[in-house]
Amino acid sequence: MTWEDDVQSDDAPSTTAKHGNDGDLKRFSRAVTINRDHGELYRFWRDFSNLPAVMDNIISITVLDDNISEWVAKGPGGSAVKWRSIVTEDIEDALIAWRSDDDADVFNEGRITFVPAQGDRGTVVTVVMAYDPPAGFVGRVIAKILQREPEVQLRRDMRRFKQLMETGEIATNVRNPAQLAEEGK
């Protein structure tokens, strides 16, 4: 996989994103500039137990050792999708690459890079991923209908990552239950 060929910039509309296929693998990417030091962002991401906070589809991540973790994600129809992720490359403060093991419900691989932005404007964080969608084309269509497409999820997850790292919280339009009770609703 040539990772550098598949980077979608912050501003590119999704219809112009480059998508390639390695066999049946669906490839996609996202880049975002975050106003934080690249080392801080790398350390947050490298502690995989942090990621369910920014990844809406991830139910849990169990870290087994420095390079292996078990992931559980929301699947179609309320099902759970599971895989074991193996870190294949790790350059401190710069890059993390991974792939799922052979027993994964959905094969996936990818990499995330942390590059200081020009002009002391934070860090450009780029994720490039590939996955083998369950049920092939039909699975892609179902994921699209349910808004569970990995490309859409990645865009949302990167937005949440940026919000959390820059502000310490993730903006939401969900009403606080305590506020609703106070208002008598």
Q: What does the alpha-carbon distance between residue 82 and residue 55 come to, in Å, rounded to a whole number? A: 15
Q: Would you state the pLDDT for residue 78?
A: 76
Q: What percent of the chain has pLDDT over 90?
A: 52
3-class secondary-structure state, position 25: strand
Q: DSSP string covering 78-109, please?
A: G-EEEEEEEEEEEETTTEEEEEE-TT-SS-EE
Task: Look up the pTM and report it.
Answer: 0.77
Strand spans (E) along 36-185: 58-63, 68-74, 80-91, 95-100, 108-116, 123-131
CATH class label, 3-182: alpha beta
Q: Would you state the pLDDT for residue 125?
A: 98
Phi, psi of 114 (to 5 degrees): -125, 105
Q: What is the pLDDT of residues 128-150, one digit of tens each?
A: 999 886 655 555 554 554 455 67
Q: What does the alpha-carbon distance between residue 2 and residue 98 come to, in Å, rounded to a whole number? A: 14
Domain ranges in the chain are 3-182
Q: 36 vs 178, which has greater pLDDT?
A: 36
